[in-house]
Amino acid sequence: MKVSLIQSNLVWENELKNLSNLESLINTKISNTDIIILPEMFTSGFTMEPNNVFSTMKSDVITWMKKIVYQKDCALAGSLVIKEDNHYYNRLIFVSNLGEVSFYDKRHLFRMAHEHQKYTPGNRHLLTEYHGWNIMWQICYDLRFPVWSRNVQNYDLLIYVANWPEKRIEAWDILLKARAIENQSYVIGVNRVGFDGNNIPYNGHSVVISPKGEVLAQLPDDKEGVINYRLNLEKRTEFSRKFPVSLDRDNFSIDF
């Protein structure tokens, strides 16, 4: 399966400019892919003013995502601010190549930015089956909580979309590798670049990591761009068969 990671600058709380920039990157840098992955809050940046930027599940942004899917004959995913039943969610939207929509609401809200005061947390995983792959989706701060990503669903690929700042980028690099190693899964991290409306810098480090924790592809620091990479499901399956760490894991349940 060929994956395309878009590492873009995001214009603060400006949906039209962000969609235009993303569409330009898609049209000039991506062809013949299976799935395109956008950063967290790709229409706005990581804003704590959801009322300024929210979309709905029937909004023009969803229509735009379906248009890209139709034009490129692939799937598309990324998170944005969604309002539903008078609640705001940091919601990852996955649109399949058939135009089918599913979603994941960020479970772990970043309290240091008061995200937990502005948004409602999710309480369920999103596991999508696509082109024979089982894909688990998570968002940014979720990366710090290994219990939430624990591979009890037998997924093959774990994907994080993020606005992860430069000053904590070493944690991003280390934790992505840890999630790959402990879950024997490919891991993808898609982060942004540039400065947000609070003058916080982001330097990217979007990456593809093997189930052994090896960096397979990564974009340069501070550069907009696209990673196009072909994943091999047989290699992941063979590695977990020969080195079946999961057979020795401890059993426990999660309480919400």
Write down the catalytic residue from 15, 72, 74, 106.
106
Using a CB cutoff of 8 Å and minimum separation of 24, what contacts does 54-62 make? Answer: 54/81, 54/82, 54/83, 54/88, 55/15, 55/80, 55/81, 55/82, 55/83, 56/82, 56/83, 56/84, 57/82, 57/84, 57/101, 57/103, 61/15, 61/19, 62/93, 62/95, 62/101
- Active-site residue identified among 15, 72, 140, 166: 140
Active site residue 40: yes
Determine the distance from the C-alpha atom of residue 68 to the mean position of all C-alpha atoms in its chain, rounded to a whole number. Answer: 17
- Find the largest Cα–Cα distance for the chain: 51
Going 112 to 118 to 122 to 126, the CA torsion angle's sign is negative
**Is residue 234 annotated as part of the catalytic site, yes or no?**
no
Identify each DSSP E strand in 99-205 by its residue range: 101-105, 127-130, 133-139, 157-161, 186-190, 193-195, 201-203
- Determine how many CB atoms are found less than 10 A away from the CB of residue 174: 10
Catalytic pick among 40, 72, 115, 177: 40
Task: Please list the active-site residues.
Answer: 40, 106, 140
